[in-house]
Each structure stands twice: as C-alpha cells, then as structure tokens.
Structure 1
Amino acid sequence: MGYLFLALAIASEVVATTFLKFTSGEGVTFANRWWAYLVVVVGYVASFVLLSVTLSRGVPLGIAYAVWAGVGVVAVTIISWLVFKEFLSWMQIGGIVLVIGGVLLLELGAKH
C-alpha cells in the first residue's frame, strides 16, 4: 500500500513542477496566473504529505526518496519535451536511462 501513496506523491510533484512553467515568462503576473501558483502550492504540499504517508506505510526513506526524485525528474523531462517542445539531446536521453537504471537498482537491491 505504501507504493500506491508513493505513486500519488510522484504524480503530485510532477504536476506541481510542470505548472511552474506557467508561472514564468514575459507578461506573467500573479494576477493573470494565480491558478498556476495554486496548482504548484497544492501539488507540492500534497506531494510531501503523501511522501510522509508512504514512509509511515513501511517504505524505507532511501528507497522512497530515490524513486520519488528519480521518477519525478524523468517524468518532468519527458513532459517538457512533449508538451513544451524543449530540446532533448542524446546525452540527456542517456541520463534518463541512467536515472531509471539507478532507481531500479536501488529498489531491486532493497530488502523487502
């Protein structure tokens, strides 16, 4: 059950981080983008609360944080590439593969 909360924590963090893009740029003010700021704040608060619940359900801190951070980085990078048309080099793709591999090794090497 802890991993379900971890997945929800990751999703909340990815949404919050993605919406940071809508809080910046030319002509952006709090008055015309208040909804984006609200999504960012609610997303990050929800993410940390869900991460805390994950830990209380028995998922080790090192594993939970590595998965949360690694999956979040990869997901935001892919979303940035797909949605915002940001450039993704072969070196960055290699980095994504290494992050995924590292998270998998941490998870597979953990005692359950």
Structure 2
Amino acid sequence: MGAYLLLAGAIVAEVTATISLKLSEGFSRTGPSIVVVAGYAAAFVCLGLALKTMPVAVAYAIWAAVGVALVAVIGAVFFKEAMNPTMVLGLALVIGGVVLLELGRSVQ
C-alpha cells in the first residue's frame, strides 16, 4: 500500500509540474518555473521510492496513464483546450492498457 501512496504522490507532483510548465510561459514567470523544477524533482523521488517494491512496468504505466489523463482533463477544463470523442477514447484505451497490465501481474 505504501508504494501506491508514493506513486500517487509522484502523479500529483508530475501533474502539478506539467500544468505549471504551461503557466510558466516558457520559463518567463518565476513562480510557476520554480514549481516545475520542484514538482518534477518530487515526482521522480516518489516514483523512485515506489519502484523499490513495485514492478517498473506497472508503476510507470500507472504514472504515465493517470498523468496523461489528468493533464488532458485539466487542459480541457481550465485552459479550454480541445477534447473530442476520439481523444476521450484514446485516454480510455491508455487507461485500459494499464488495467490489463495490472491484471496480468496478478495472473502468474
């Protein structure tokens, strides 16, 4: 359970850093730029700690898929970026792939 909490922390930190990257306007704004560096550093530390007890394929797949989905939703809601049914299907397929990886891990 601890590894999944660390993974959740890594996801939150990475999503925060990615959104701050947009807000930094090419690193021309100091506050968001600091959040970018701190967020990515925290994400990698948390991910590294989670990998002590989790398979790398599962951890990275969850981290990447949830991060992509959250950033896409935040982009659509807060930045009014495009989101259409094809993109939603793509996100669902990515998340479905992660679920299959997790299920495959339990069938040994």
Say whether the fold is shared (TM-score over 0.5). Answer: yes
Runs ≥4 in structure 1, deviation > 3 angstroms?
none
Q: TM-score, normalised by structure 1?
A: 0.89
Q: In the comparison of the two structures, how many residue pairs are matched?
A: 106
Structure 1, unaligned stretches of length 5 or more?
Answer: none
8 A contact 2:24–2:31 mirrored in 1: no
State the shift of 1:29 in Å. Answer: 6.3
- Counterpart position of 1:17: 18
- Counterpart position of 2:100: 105
1:82 aligned to which of 77, 82, 91: 77
State the shift of 1:111 in Å. Answer: 3.5
1:53 aligned to which of 37, 49, 55: 49
Whether 1:6 aligns to 2:7 is: yes
Structure 2, unaligned stretches of length 5 or more?
Answer: none
**CA deviation map 1:62-99 (0-9, x unaligned):** 10001001110011000000111111011101101101
Letter in 1 for 2:105: A
Larger relative CO (CA 8 A, sep 6+): 1 or 2?
Answer: 1
In the superposition, relative to structure 1, how do residues 39 and 109 fare at CA in structure 2: closer, same or farther (>3 Å)? Answer: same
The sequence identity of aligned pairs, in percent, is: 46
- Counterpart position of 2:68: 73
- Counterpart position of 2:59: 64
